[in-house]
Structure 1
Amino acid sequence: NSFADAPAAAKSEGRERGGLPQRADRTPKKEDVPLK
């Protein structure tokens, strides 16, 4: 189930790196951080 686990892994990775979940595979930038 690597395909099904990919979104969850990307989301947790994005949170840890402070980037967007859908951009977890890229280098997070301040411009990529969504306004909360």
Structure 2
Amino acid sequence: RLYHPASGELMTWESPLPDDMTELLALLRRARDGD
């Protein structure tokens, strides 16, 4: 599960993704490490 870092809401693929690809990769990395 991936939770939006700002809102804490559960994100789905329909949710808006960060425009910055580096930020997106960081979010995915953080989600994987925290799983």
Comparing both chains, which one has the higher relative contact order based on Cα–Cα distances under 8 Å and sequence gaps of 6 or more? 2
- The structure whose Rg is larger is 1
Which one has the bigger helix percentage? Answer: 1
TM-score calculated relative to the size of structure 2: 0.39
